[in-house]
Amino acid sequence: KKPKNYPPGPKWLPIIGSAYVLLKKRKQYRNLYKATAVMAKEHGPVIGLKVGKDLIVIVYGKQAIREFLSSEDLGGRPTGPFYDMRTWGERRGVLLTDSEYWQEQRRFILRQLREFGFGRKNMSAMIEEETGIMVESFKKMLAGKSSFTHNMASAFSIHILNTLWMMMAGIRYSPEDKNLLSLQDILGRLFSAVDMVGCPFSHFPILKFIAPEVSGYKLYVETHLQVWDFLYKELTRHKETYDENNLRDFMDVYLKILNSPNRDESFCEKQLLAICMDMFMAGSETTSKSLGFCFLNLIRYPDVQKKAQQEIDQVVGRDRLPTLEDRPKMPYMECVVLEALRMFSGRAFTVPHRALRDTHLNGHFIPKDTMVIANLHGTLMGPDSGVEEPETFKPERYLKDGKITLAETYIPFGFGKHRCLGETLARANVFLFTSALLQHFNFSIPPGCPPTTECIDGVTPGPLPFQALVTLRD
């Protein structure tokens, strides 16, 4: 039965609840973010759903999103068979990262990542090396000609995986390496098996038993195990080569804590693997798809590209790659990054939260354990976002008198207790990859191949494959 004053939403049918409306609308609008934006028009900024056994609330619109992300009561993380590490943690007997544990781990991760990867110097050098590799591989693809066409929607994923894996385990693979390609493949399959608002088998647990293949359960378990094994092998290697006086990466710093006698109980080996898994899940597709949106728009808006290149030429020149030290002198490029992030997050959702106790949102009752998730389209592109022509790629919108000014509604990384941990790394990656490529190449629409602006529906929406004509700059 619907709880009293539960947020308005489509009618509930027995057993399936409102899943059928969500599915129908999703099919009609081809994207979950569009479907839920339309539902917000019908029902208001807080939409109450029931999918199978789960209560799910979707939040849309700038004010409701602010209230949601500021709420302590809504600061839990989902439990149960779900997209993140917990499911797989449960099977493996991990200490569940419920809210308190997570906040402790979160503080630790942020502190340590500042040293291995997020600290300005290390991070810049690490990403620059990778951008250099990407520029060289593009030059190879020219094969003596002045231009070639390339699918830019998926061009970045291997390189972004490398930057993440460098930070976690100190390993850089060559772009053709078997291990790296297999990791990319496994993660890709894992993403296709899950969904931001859960998977069929999490809402209808019986599907696990009666339809393991069709419900996606089998694929989900298999791919999780593969990533787990990949991480576990590396952890074993780290333990064998560990040297207390030479901490190489995030795994080593965590091992140091594990070796100390008075460590807190939330620290354990499985927790470390779970964090690595989370970082792959949260950091790989998000960053590479933001870069995909960036280049999709750079070919659609050649004037923006030209302006960015002028700034790069002026500040960096052509003799060395751009670094993070150049960033304060490149406000236009910085705005290109901000706009690319808006294009990505404006079609995405926050991570799912869970109501820790009975509470209220926007005047409606939210029972304990309801899953709550925000559609960021509401605050970054929606009608009340305050963003003019939200579908237009316009870096200038952030520049006021030569200074970058961000509106309160600009929250591509969320905010509050679950604010993105990887913001610094993600922004550095988008900045350095985009400026290094623009420094060396022009990108344009190949004759007769206009790109589509439709995007892939899924956990993280990305541009559909599109070709760019890549030409060496003179």
Alpha-carbon separation of residue 145 from 139, 152, 232 (angstroms): 10, 19, 44
Interface pick for ligand HEM out of 51, 57, 64, 69 (rule CB under 6 A): 69
- CB nearer ligand HEM, residue 290 or residue 439: 290
- CB nearer ligand HEM, residue 110 or residue 449: 110
- By CB under 6 A, is residue 277 in contact with ligand HEM? no
Mode of pairing for the β-strands spanning 54-59 and 371-374: parallel
Report in angstroms how near the CB of residue 208 gets to ligand HEM at its nearest.
26
| Residue 294 is labelled as binding a ligand | no
State which amino acid sits at residue 166: M
- By CB under 6 A, is residue 351 in contact with ligand HEM? yes
Report in angstroms how near the CB of residue 435 gets to ligand HEM at its nearest.
16
CB contact set of 88 (below 8 Å; sequence gap of 6+): 94, 224, 225, 228, 274, 277
* Nearest of 241, 292, 314 to residue 452 by alpha carbon: 292
Interface pick for ligand HEM out of 60, 156, 201, 344 (rule CB under 6 A): 344
- CB nearer ligand HEM, residue 195 or residue 207: 195
As a whole number of Å, the end-to-end CA separation of the chain is 68
- By CB under 6 A, is residue 378 in contact with ligand HEM? no
Handedness of CA 218, 222, 223, 224 (dihedral sign): positive
> Residues binding ligand HEM: what is the number (CB under 6 A)?
26
- By CB under 6 A, is residue 356 in contact with ligand HEM? no
- CB nearer ligand HEM, residue 410 or residue 441: 410
Helix and strand tally (H, E) in the chain?
17, 13
Collapsing DSSP to helix, strand or coil, 52 comes out as coil
The first and second tokens of residue 366, run together, are: 């939210």
Q: Are 151 and 466 in contact (CB under 8 A)?
A: yes
- By CB under 6 A, is residue 184 in contact with ligand HEM? no
> Rounded to whole angstroms, how far apart are CA atoms 445 and 304?
14
Nearest-Å Rg of the Cα atoms of the chain is 22
| Residue 148 bridge partners (DSSP) | 470
Question: 81: exposed, middle or buried (C-beta count within 10 Å: 0-12, 13-18, 19+)?
Answer: buried
Report in angstroms how near the CB of residue 110 gets to ligand HEM at its nearest.
10
Report in angstroms how near the CB of residue 423 gets to ligand HEM at its nearest.
7
Q: Which stretch binds ligand HEM (CB under 6 A): 37-45, 91-99, 203-211, 274-282?
A: 274-282
- CB nearer ligand HEM, residue 123 or residue 436: 123
Site string for ligand HEM, 391-430 (x = CB under 6 A): ---------------------xxx-x-xxxxx--xx----
Report in angstroms how near the CB of residue 272 gets to ligand HEM at its nearest.
14
Report in angstroms how near the CB of residue 434 gets to ligand HEM at its nearest.
12
Interface pick for ligand HEM out of 130, 278, 334, 457 (rule CB under 6 A): 278
Cα 204 to the center of its chain, rounded Å: 26
Handedness of CA 329, 331, 336, 340 (dihedral sign): positive
Q: What are phi and psi of 372, to 5 degrees?
A: -125, 135
- CB nearer ligand HEM, residue 308 or residue 428: 428
- By CB under 6 A, is residue 97 in contact with ligand HEM? no
- By CB under 6 A, is residue 170 in contact with ligand HEM? no
- By CB under 6 A, is residue 58 in contact with ligand HEM? no
Report the half-sphere exposure of 198 (CA within 13 A, side-chain side): 30
> Rounded to whole angstroms, how far apart are CA atoms 279 and 112?
14
- CB nearer ligand HEM, residue 21 or residue 180: 180
- CB nearer ligand HEM, residue 44 or residue 76: 76
* Nearest of 421, 404, 287 to residue 341 by alpha carbon: 287
Instruction: Mark the binding-site residues, compressed into ranges.
Output: 420
Residues at the contact surface with ligand HEM, assessed by CB under 6 A: 69, 106, 164, 278-279, 282-283, 286-287, 290, 341, 344-345, 350-351, 412-414, 416, 418-422, 425-426
Residue ranges of the binding site for heme: 420
